[in-house]
Amino acid sequence: MSGIVGQEAPALVQRCVRCRKDYPADNIRPNCECGGLLDVEQPQPELRNGELRSLFEGRRHVDHGPFASGVWRFGELILAGAVERAVTQPEGNTPLLNRPTVSAFAGIENLLLKHEGHNPTGSFKDRGMTVAVTQARRVGATALACATTGNTGASLAAYGALAGLRALILVPRDGIATGKLAQVLAYGGRVVLVRGDFDACLRLVREAVDELGVYLVNSINPFRLEGQKTIVLELLQQLQWQAPDWIVFPAGNLGNAAAFGKALREARAWGLIDRMPRLAAVQAEGAAPFARSFRDGFRTRHQVVAQTVASAIRIGNPASYDRAVTAIRETDGVVTTATDPEILDAKAVVDAAGVGCEPASAASIAGVRRLAREGIISKGERVVAVLTGHLLKDPTLVTWYHAEAEPRPAYANRPAEIEPTMTDLARIAR
């Protein structure tokens, strides 16, 4: 092991984002007694900007142990003192891609795609889960639980298996994509199909913390967010710490909005970057309570009954609302929406570039396109769009779009059907 991780780590505290009350690091309750959410308060790192950067740079090509992870490489800023005992696959180290056809579709010259679908279970959820499950083991938890539209469950089931801990996974019965359900079952999670939507699952599992003594690993859990900060830290490192103008991402429960804001705030405070990128959160039009709050200057916290084809962001009452408001305000950010047809067309373009992503991820690209068209993002600005999950998460929707949807979608790649004759084949092949 190299670096400063082995030294005695300064104690972390968890702090209420609403009333600022502090709780010890090993507190397992997800809320303050005032009802507010908790954030991990990171101590000021002992190393300064240049030293920190070279510490992280030196670990970039490590190929075994926790520093091979794109999360634990940044251990000093995440969960110092836990690195040696991290439950890691490893995760992260996802590519930053430049695809001209996607840039042209979005109407932006300098667009990079941070592809989180390259994580071990195919979504960014692994970055938060490695930290939450590591923390669960530190506090002696025996059973883990989450409410999920699929990806959190897939990730929890995998990391639970790795840690040897039981995983209780609540999913909306009619709302989980095929690939995700297959993963949860395969990794050995205890799947509970709830006759209700995601918001009902989350309400139920929050009660289970007190009633059943389970350790909650939804993104309410502040350690999840510490891991998700590394999406931003890693992309900044890939850009040699030259901050882009914009970071654009899909927004459902607002965990990423919160984590990205916190990552940027800390990176700025610790001298890793010298200017703040602006955050742009993109919601599906049928699941856009946060966009509505943004439009009224965050005067009201809205709730909706969520409806969209993008199941990962089909959330009507986002849990990390308070934290996300701070993130948008501190980065001079924006919140916008994309319709389902816009999301599906953007997805088809990302897929046809040979990259591929799940529907919710494509909201990023549909969002960039809208913001570019509205002149909010200008053509020459440097934009990083986060693709949150892998193409194969939701194969049902892909085949429906290409093979069945009527009227024929703009980018549909219809299969051809023939008799087993050369005449037929020759006609198609031409």
Ligand X SMILES: *Cc1c(COP(=O)(O)O)cnc(C)c1O
The least distance separating Zn ion from the CB of residue 227, rounded to whole angstroms, comes to 23
Provide the strand spans (E) within 31-163. 38-41, 96-97, 110-115, 143-147
Neighbours of 275 (CB within 10 A): 9
171 binds, among Zn ion, ligand X, none (CB under 5 to 8 A by kind): none
Nearest to 120 by CA among 96, 87, 143, 146: 87
- CB-nearer residue toward Zn ion: 36 or 65: 36
Neighbours of 63 (CB within 10 A): 7
32 binds, among Zn ion, ligand X, none (CB under 5 to 8 A by kind): Zn ion
Report the alpha-carbon distance of residue 401 to residue 345 in Å, rounded: 9
- CB-nearer residue toward Zn ion: 30 or 92: 30
34 binds, among Zn ion, ligand X, none (CB under 5 to 8 A by kind): Zn ion
Report the alpha-carbon distance of residue 196 to residue 175 in Å, rounded: 9
- CB-nearer residue toward ligand X: 89 or 253: 253
| DSSP character string of 12-40 | PEEEETTT--EEETT---SB-TTS-BEEE
The least distance separating ligand X from the CB of residue 281, rounded to whole angstroms, comes to 8
Map tokens 């592809």 to a residue: 115
The least distance separating Zn ion from the CB of residue 34, rounded to whole angstroms, comes to 3
Map tokens 């970071």 to a residue: 247
Neighbours of 408 (CB within 10 A): 11
- CB-nearer residue toward Zn ion: 27 or 93: 27
The least distance separating ligand X from the CB of residue 206, rounded to whole angstroms, comes to 15
Report the alpha-carbon distance of residue 409 to residue 123 in Å, rounded: 26
The least distance separating Zn ion from the CB of residue 15, rounded to whole angstroms, comes to 9
36 binds, among ligand X, Zn ion, none (CB under 5 to 8 A by kind): Zn ion
The least distance separating ligand X from the CB of residue 52, rounded to whole angstroms, comes to 26
- CB-nearer residue toward ligand X: 68 or 313: 313
Paired tokens of 322 = 């308070």
HSE value, Cβ hemisphere, 13 Å, CA-based, for 393: 38
Report the alpha-carbon distance of residue 108 to residue 243 in Å, rounded: 17
Report the alpha-carbon distance of residue 49 to residue 55 in Å, rounded: 10
The least distance separating ligand X from the CB of residue 256, rounded to whole angstroms, comes to 4
Using the rule CB under 5 A, is 34 a contact of Zn ion? yes
Site for Zn ion (CB under 5 A): how many residues? 7
- CB-nearer residue toward Zn ion: 18 or 402: 18
282 by Cβ neighbours in 10 Å (0-12 / 13-18 / 19+) ranks as buried
Nearest to 369 by CA among 398, 349, 388: 349
The least distance separating ligand X from the CB of residue 252, rounded to whole angstroms, comes to 4
389 binds, among Zn ion, ligand X, none (CB under 5 to 8 A by kind): ligand X
Binding site for ligand X (CB under 6 A): 123, 125, 151, 219, 250-256, 312-313, 358, 360-361, 388-389
Using the rule CB under 5 A, is 36 a contact of Zn ion? yes
403 binds, among Zn ion, ligand X, none (CB under 5 to 8 A by kind): none
Of the residues 12, 16, 111, 251, which one makes contact with Zn ion according to CB under 5 A? 16
The least distance separating Zn ion from the CB of residue 30, rounded to whole angstroms, comes to 12
Neighbours of 109 (CB within 10 A): 15
- CB-nearer residue toward ligand X: 59 or 114: 114
Report the alpha-carbon distance of residue 413 to residue 400 in Å, rounded: 11
- CB-nearer residue toward ligand X: 199 or 358: 358
Could you tell me which residues come within 8 angstroms of residue 210 by beta carbon, excluding any fewer than 6 positions away? none
Q: Which helix (H) or strand (E) holds 333?
A: none
- CB-nearer residue toward ligand X: 250 or 289: 250
- CB-nearer residue toward ligand X: 347 or 369: 347
The least distance separating ligand X from the CB of residue 48, rounded to whole angstroms, comes to 31
Of the residues 19, 305, 418, 425, which one makes contact with Zn ion according to CB under 5 A? 19
Could you tell me which residues are beta bridge partners of residue 31?
37
364 binds, among ligand X, Zn ion, none (CB under 5 to 8 A by kind): none
Residues lying near Zn ion in the complex (CB under 5 A) are found at: 16, 18-19, 21, 32, 34, 36
